[in-house]
Structure 1
Amino acid sequence: MTKKLLILLFFFCSFLMRSQNLVWRTNMTDAIAISNELRKPMLILFTATGVPDNLQNEIFKTPDFAVWSRDNVVLVKLDLSDVNASDSDKEQNVRLKNAFGVVDLPEVCYASASIRKSKTTFSALGKIAYKPGGAKAWISESNAILHPVEE
């Protein structure tokens, strides 16, 4: 009986660990298609090698963020220092960074996009950088960007 319970517990824990893995898209075309299909805005993380890990460690690696992101956004990570990215992808990522007005890395921009006649049009919803206070405060600020209260 104890052995069966331990085996069940092991499978349950491994299921929970897998369910918290975030799926970060790195191809903007795919991300736009998924965003439009799911009718969810994109959370675009602009990052690079050597930037502080606070946002990753204190926000993105929490169960609260995993649940919130699954229900609210399509995750996109644009690493501006990715040596494996093609030259056209690197150029596109830098153009997007500049278009969204990102200065300090890492920074998150919320946006939706559409593609018509091979032309991509982005609609910026807002941006947010790391702030101390934990995942719940960060999620609350993100919700204010994604679901503004009309006055």
Structure 2
Amino acid sequence: MKKAILILFVAFSALSMQAQQLEWHTDIAKAVSLSETSKKPILMFFTGSDWCGWCMKLQKEVLQTPEFAKWAKENVILVELDFPRRAAQTPEIKNQNAQLNAFFKVKGYPTVWFAKGSKNADGKIAFDAMGSTGYVAGGPSAWLDGANKIIKKS
């Protein structure tokens, strides 16, 4: 009995660690370069990490799960565009996030945009928006079903 519990604990810990090992980029230029190299779309998570209840709910129910981690590693480049009220950010990150917020016309949080990014000859970034979503009830399977529909149709 103790062995079975120990095995379950180790398996659960390994799955939890996998979810924590995701790399969320904050530099959109770096994410676009990775997207071009890997041919994966960019998932941009517009969030108010320290004040938005629905953002925290999406994080807990979907974005921090092993199912999401496995899917994300195979399908997208992750970018977090945060609009915190208490946490400090560099002026460059604040400016970048505000520009992307305006470009994608984000009206509320959480908003998740999927896009293909590219750099043109003079280094400017261009986006081909694929679609957006937000919080979806039903856990990772419901959310991932919607995300797959967005990235598969483009």
Fold match by TM threshold 0.5: yes
Percent of residue pairs bearing the same amino acid type:
35
- State the 1:15 CA deviation: 4.6
Counterpart of 2:19 in structure 1 is 20
Unaligned runs of 5+ in 2: none
* Structure 1 residues not aligned, in runs of 5+: none
- Give the number of aligned pairs: 145
Q: 1:17 deviation in Å?
A: 3.9
SS in 2 for 1:78: strand
2:72 is equivalent to residue 69 of structure 1: yes
For 1:79 and 1:31, locate their aligned partners in 2 and report how far apart those are by CA, in whole Å: 15
Match of 2:133 among 122, 125, 128: 128
TM-score normalised over the length of structure 2 = 0.82
Distance 1:9 1:73 in 2: 30
d(CA) in 2 for partners of 1:92, 1:147: 28
- Give the Cα separation in 1 of the matches to 2:108 and 2:47: 9
Q: 1:44-94: per-residue Cα shift (whole Å, max 9, x none)? A: 001122001111011112111111111110111011227443223211211
In the alignment, residue 97 of structure 1 is paired with which amino acid? N
- Give the whole-Å Cα distance in 2 for the aligned partners of 1:10 and 1:58: 20
TM-score by length of 1: 0.84
| Cα distance in structure 1, aligned partners of 2:8 and 2:131 | 42
Which has the higher mean CA deviation after the structures are superposed, 68-77 or 17-26?
A: 17-26
Partner of 1:147: 152
Residue 11 of structure 1: how far off its partner (Å): 7.2
Match of 1:114 among 115, 118, 133: 118
Q: Distance in 2 between matches of 1:30 and 1:99?
A: 18
AA at the equivalent of 2:69: A
Instruction: Provide the aligned C-alpha RMSD in A.
Output: 2.3
The aligned residue for residue 29 of structure 1 is 29
1:61 partner amino acid: Q
> Which deviates the most, 37-46 or 86-95?
86-95
- Report which of the two structures shows the higher radius of gyration computed on alpha carbons: 1
Between 98-107 and 81-90, report the one with greater CA deviation: 81-90
Deviation of 1:10 after TM superposition, in Å, equals 8.1
CA contact (8 A) 2:29 2:125 kept: no
Q: How big is the shift at 1:127? A: 0.5
C-alpha spacing 1:136/1:10, structure 2 compared with 1 (3 Å): closer
Give the residue type in structure 2 aligned to 1:64. Answer: E
